[in-house]
Structures are given as structure tokens and as C-alpha cells.
Structure 1
Amino acid sequence: MTPVLRFALFFGILSLLVVSGHVYLYRRLFRDTARHSAWRRVGVGVMALLAATLLGSRMLTYLWPSEATALVEQVSWFWMGAATYLLLAVLSLGGVRTLSGWLKRRRAVEAAPAPVSEERREFLARATAGAALVATGGIASYGVWRAYHPPVVNEVAVKLPGLPKALDGFTIIQLSDIHVGPLIQRRFMDALVAQTNALKGDLVCITGDLVDGSVEELGFAAGALRELRSRYGTYFVTGNHEYYSGDEEWSDALTRMGMTVLRNRHVRIGEPGASFDLVGVDDWGAQRSGYPRERSYDLAAATAGRDSSRASVLLAHQPAGWREQALKAGMGLQLSGHTHGGQFFPFNLAVAAIWEHDAGLFREGDSSIYVSRGTGFWGPPLRVAAPPEIVKVTLLA
């Protein structure tokens, strides 16, 4: 399937879902709550505008970049999150109404059927719509607060095969999936850097999806990372969003900021008498997207020339290659992200069903993988049942 055909199929399915969802919301929030034609016309206009915003805002921003189109795109992300919870609330409350009505009919099966009251039906529709709006407002408000609130710090201890005893207790601070962009700017980054530095890690690593935009657009916001402080410095590997934003340009920019960018290579961390190998690979999906091998996941190139008996930590954006590649190569620990842990309910349940290693620490034999839920967010600025995190990994000999 060609990229154009794949995009057309994706956009067609997306359009069907978006339009269907907004038609359903119109029926429940406008058509069922009042019989006034003016109110229903307002509903048609509101739902059509919101659906069009969801489907077209990113293309609009791409074709005519400006503050106005950027604002429209931001509104579309907020509405995407709110619409998800509004649909869930309306469907849930409507299901309760349907079940309640069915039970009443069962109990009155031998009685004469009561006449249908349009006023009662309209009252119940309004009550359902009002309750759904209140529930959506509460959950969405919490989700936005949680997304912008300082990430939680998850501390994990991992036994690393071959780690010298002199490095027992070595700490790695992992940041992942920050997604600096229109909704995450310098203020968020300054607070994140301060929180990271307070953990006093020996090494900081960023496992991809740092940015959603060009160096020109986001260089100032990402520049806060210059202030990261650790004994052995900051290391970075690409995620899929770096390829959307200019992987080579960002690699050069981050190098100028003082980071070490690991693109299919490894470095030695520690002192001459006590060290381990830090291995970094490019994003797992890059080669499938048509990027050349030297800019795609290549663990063989990244580990070329290293002593396989030495302790190793692999930085790889996606957890997808852990069993297929990292375990076979003898990597003692892999640090990944990409999944966001689903980011917000109910997508956290879907991600847990799709990804074998969705979030948290997993072990197989002597090897381990930690998959971060991400430090920022992508798309809707929501975090519900999957809070953002900074990971502090303590290596044990």
C-alpha cells in the first residue's frame, strides 16, 4: 500500500468516526433536549464546526502557519479530549436510562402500558445531557491539571548483569515523550529541568519524542534543557516525532545544547576501572517509514566493537524491539517510552491490550525493560489514570 493510499484510508476512517460521534452528540445534546428549531440549528452549526476543526485544523496550520491557525489547532486538541469524555458520559448515562426503562417495563408487563409523555422524555434528555456535561467538565479539568502539574517521580531499582560493584547505586534519570510544542513551552520545561536536577542523578537520558515542531519554532523552549545537571551528562535518542520535526536538525541542535545524541552507537559511562556501556538506537519505526538504515533502528551498528560481557543499558524509544533485538543482543536493561501508558482513560486500557510492554518495569531472565508513561503529553492535554512521570533508575550490581 502506497503512503498516499494509506493516508487516504486513515483519513477516511477518522472522518467517519469523527462525523458519527458529532452526529450522536447533536442528537443527545440538542435534538432530544428541545423541540425548538432554532436550538437545533444552533446544534447543527456547533457540531459541524467542531467536527471540521478536529479534521482540518492541523492541515490548516500546515498550509497557513500563523498565530490564528495555531490557536485553532490548540482548541481542536482540547475539544478532542473533552469530546471523548462527553461521548463516554452520554453513552453511559443513556445506557443507564435504557436499562432503567427496560426494568420498569418488565415489572409492568401485565399492566396496561402507560402513555408516552413527551414532556417527561424531554426532561430526562435534559437531565442526561446536563449530567454528562458536568461529568465531562470535572474529569477533563482534572486531566488538564494532571497533565500540566509536575510529573510524579517513580523510583525503580534494577539489577544490571555485569555492573561493577563500584557502580552499585548508580542512578539514571529518564525523561521521555515530553512533546515540546504548541501546548508545552518554556515555562513547563524550566520547571521540568528544576525537578530533574533536584533528583541529583548520575546521568540523564531522554528517550525520544522530545519535540513536535522545528528547531526554529521550538529552539527556545527546548533550550531549557541546557540547564540539566548530572555527573555524566545528558543523552538523547530519537523517537518517531523527531522524524516528523527534522531528526537531523534536532540532533545538531541538541548537540549544540550540550547533549550527547546516540544514533546507533554506544559510549562508555564511568571511570576507566569501573564502567558500563550506554547504547542508543534510532526509532524502531523509522525504516518502515522509508528512512535509510543509518537513520533507522540498527542495534548491530550500535553495539559494533563492544565487549558483550560488559554491563549495558540500551536507550530505545519504542519497546517494540526488546524481545526481537535487545534480549538476543544481551542488553541488560532497556529504557523506552512511546506508549504514554495510554495517556488517558479509556486509551490506557487499549494500550495495555495492544502493547505487551505498555508501561512500567518488566523482566525476562536477567534482562529488564522499563517503559515510561512519558513526561509530557501528545494531542489532548489530558492525563487521566496514566500520570506523567520522571523515572529514577538505580542500578544494582
Structure 2
Amino acid sequence: MHFSIPILKSAIFTSTTLHTIIAIVAALALVIEGFISVEVRPTIKNLNILITNLPPEFHGFSIVLVTDIHTGASVGKGKVAEVVKVVNSLDPDIITVVGDLTDGYKGYIGDRAKPLKDLKSRYGNFGTLGNHEYFYENIDNWVKFYKEDLNLTMLINDGVILERNGKQLCLAGLDDFYTEDAKFDGHKMNVTKALQSCPKNISTIILEHQPKGAAKILEELPKIGYHADLILSGHTHGGQMYAVYPMVRLANKYLYGHYIYKETNTQIYVSSGVNYWGPPVKMMASMCEIVYIRILSDLVVK
């Protein structure tokens, strides 16, 4: 007995014009949805992270992670002020602004970023550099602006010790992974330097804009005898657009979300960012995120 697949003659399967119309309508629908996604109020992503041997005094310590604000041509003062309002409503212990805060020249867009000076937290507001800070302005001009005008404590291959009820937690930040290949005087990722002020026996959180930089940190930590409990990154925008998502997925081991590096039990969270880069579109509104993290101690949670 022979079987054959029938040839379908319907216009649904054979009409070039219909296929073109369907493609155009689908593309327009995705673009419109993408525009709407970046115009709504940022999504608050709640995340509880259990850390081994975290001092009980830091159980429930809250961190707000904001990445990829991209203040620039289409991200003005109003949108930045909205980010500040949402962040402050979370009443965090610390705020971390992890790279790509701005996208342009300080003289043109610096004023648009100034609402960030109103960020409020109990233990401090901390910033690191992203790759886009390097693209236009002299990088040291941006660093000075972030410190003096936005009141951000910049962690560039540097760390600080946070104290709570007599116990300590280290927060370290690195220069951006972009500096591995691009040559800028005085700027290059340096894991050893970033962790010099962190005692080896205390819980440590690292800020690094690019997840590729996070991967490099994970490779270097055992070589220098340090451990990190958590690395916070951004940069990828979760792929941002359907058209480029496959390429971004292939280029990044850590694309978006919560990962565990089993060799050292280090956790990585890659944020999709609160805004976008380039065209003001994103695949879905939930990917315009502000991340509210509570770190929990395994000494308390049994």
C-alpha cells in the first residue's frame, strides 16, 4: 500500500501576497508590543537568595539591583525619575547601579541622570561602570559625575565592608569586561585588586556589568584564593528583541536570570535591565525590571 501526502491548494499555503501580509502584520504587532513594553512602569522582580554561612545579622538584608538605565536620547529625566520613585518605594538596605547608567556625552545628557541623586537606602548607593560609559565621554569625567552629582559610591576594582550588628559583609565592584580588550589608561578588570579589602572568610557580593565578566571572575577566584557568594550583572537585556535574541543567547553563557556555578557554589543573577539600548523596544514588559533581592542565611533558614 502506498501513501502520499496531499498537496494543499488553499491560498493559506500558496499565496505569496497573503504570506507577505501576515509577515508584515506580525512584525508590526511585535514592534508595537515592544514599544508598549518600555513605556509601562518598571516591573519589580522579587528574588530571595540563600547564602551559605551568611551571618544571621544579615538575614533579610535587601539589595536593589538596577542595570542598563541608558540615560540618553530617548531616556530622559522623567523616565529616570520614575526609576528612582520605584526603587525608593522598596526601602532597600543598599542600592546597586550596575553599569550602562548613561549613553552619551555628559554635557548633553548629564542633567537627565540627575534624579538618581535622590536614591535613598540605609547603607549606601553603589555604582559600577558598564561598556557604554566608555563609548563617548572621557570615562573619568563620568566617574567624577557619578560620585559628585549622583552621590554614588563607585566601586571600580574596589570593595567596601558593610557592617550590621557587629558582623561584616563585603561588596566589591569591578571595571567593565570591555576594558579587557579596549585600552584605557588606569582602567582594566582586576579581580585581585577589587577583593583586596575583603577578608577571605566573610560573605562577598560582586558587581560586574557584563556576564562575560562574571564568567571571568569565576575562573580567577580559585587562583587567587577568594570566594564570591553572589555576582550581580546586566548588559544582555535578556536579548531585548526577538530578531537578535538567538545571537545574544549564543554569545552569553549567562543570559538572563538566576544561575549557580556549582564548582564554587557561587550564584549569578543577570538582570534584563530597567530600560533598553538603541530602539525603544523590548520583547515583554516584564523584562524592564528592577530587582529586589533579599539575601538569606542558611544558619537561620533550616
Q: Aligned in 2, Cα 1:135/1:334: closer, same or farther, shift over 3 Å?
A: same
Instruction: Report the Cα offset of residue 197 of structure 1.
Output: 0.8
Considering fraction of residues, name the structure with more strand: 2
State the structure with bigger RCO (CA 8 A, min sep 6), 1 or 2.
Answer: 2
Corresponding residue for residue 389 of structure 1:
289
Q: Which residue of 1 aligns with 2:171?
A: 278
Q: Deviations over 1:358-393 (max 9, x none)?
A: 110111243101001111100111111472111111
Answer yes or no: is 1:379 the counterpart of 2:272.
no
Q: Deviations over 1:185-207 (max 9, x none)?
A: 11111111101111111110011
Q: Which has the higher helix share?
A: 1
The answer as to whether partners of 1:162 and 1:309 remain within 8 angstroms in 2 is no
- The alpha carbon displacement at 1:153 in A equals 1.4
CA gap of 1:277–1:140, structure 2 versus 1, over 3 A, is same
Query: What displacement does 1:168 show?
Result: 0.3
Counterpart amino acid of residue 393 in structure 1 = I
For 1:163 and 1:214, how far apart are their aligned partners in 2? 41
Q: CA deviation at 1:124?
A: 4.3
Q: Is the 8 A contact 2:161 2:198 kept in 1?
A: no
Q: Is 2:234 aligned against 1:324?
A: no
Name the CA distance, whole Å, in 1 between partners of 2:30 and 2:198.
50
User: Residue in 1 aligned with 2:72?
Assistant: 181
User: In the alignment, residue 211 of structure 2 is paired with which amino acid?
Assistant: P
1:368 to 256, 267, 279: 267
Note the C-alpha offset of 1:104: 4.0
Contact kept in structure 1, 2:65 and 2:95, CA below 8 Å: yes
User: How many residues matched?
Assistant: 280
Q: Aligned match of 1:344 in 241, 260, 269?
A: 241
The 8 Å contact of residues 237 and 276 in structure 2, kept in 1 or not, is answered as: yes
Q: Which of 181, 189, 210 in structure 2 is aligned with 1:288?
A: 181
Structure 1 stretches of 5 or more lacking a match? 1-101, 108-119
1:138-167, CA deviations, whole angstroms, 9 ceiling, x for partnerless residues?
221110010121221111111223421111
2:189 corresponding residue in structure 1 = 297
Note the C-alpha offset of 1:214.
1.3
Q: SS at the partner of 2:282? A: coil
**1:211–1:245 contact (8 Å) kept in structure 2:** no
CA distance in 2, matches of 1:388, 1:217: 25
Map 1:225-244 to 2 at 5 A. Answer: 225-244=116-135
Which of these residues, 159, 167, 173, is aligned with residue 58 of structure 2? Answer: 167
Counterpart secondary structure, 1:248: helix
Q: Work out whether residues 57 and 165 of structure 2, in 8 Å CA contact, stay in contact via their aligned partners in 1.
A: no
Q: Name structure 2 gaps, 5 residues minimum.
A: 1-5, 298-302
Using the size of structure 1 for normalisation, the TM-score is: 0.66
Give, in whole Å, the separation in 2 of the partners of 1:245 and 1:229.
29
Query: Aligned pair in 2 of structure 1 residues 367, 388: CA closer, same or farther (>3 Å)?
Result: same
In 2, Cα distance between equivalents of 1:251 and 1:390: 23
CA–CA separation in structure 2 for the residues paired with 1:191 and 1:325: 33
Offset of 1:265 from its aligned partner?
0.6
Corresponding residue number in structure 2 for 1:266: 159
1:163 touches 1:275 (CA, 8 Å); kept in 2?
Answer: no
Q: CA deviation at 1:135?
A: 2.4
The alignment partner of 2:64 has SS state of strand
Q: Aligned pair 1:354/2:264, yes or no?
A: no
Instruction: Assess if the C-alpha contact under 8 Å between 2:176 and 2:213 holds in 1.
Output: no
Counterparts of residues 1-397 of structure 1 (less than 5 Å): 103-104=7-8, 124-246=15-137, 247-256=139-148, 257-271=150-164, 273-292=166-185, 294-326=186-218, 327-328=221-222, 329-365=226-262, 366-385=265-284, 387-397=287-297
8 Å contact 2:64–2:96 — kept in the other structure?
Answer: yes
C-alpha root-mean-square deviation of aligned residues, in Å? 2.2
Take 1:214 and 1:162, find their aligned partners in 2: how far apart are those partners?
44
Query: Equivalents in 1 of 2:146, 2:215: separation in Å?
Result: 30
* 1:104-152 residue CA offsets vs partner (Å, 9 max, x unmatched): 47x9xxxxxxxxxxxx9xx945444433333222221110010121221
User: Which string of whole-angstrom CA distances, capped at 9 and with x for unpartnered residues, describes residues 227-276 of structure 1?
Assistant: 11111121100010011133211110111121101111101113361220
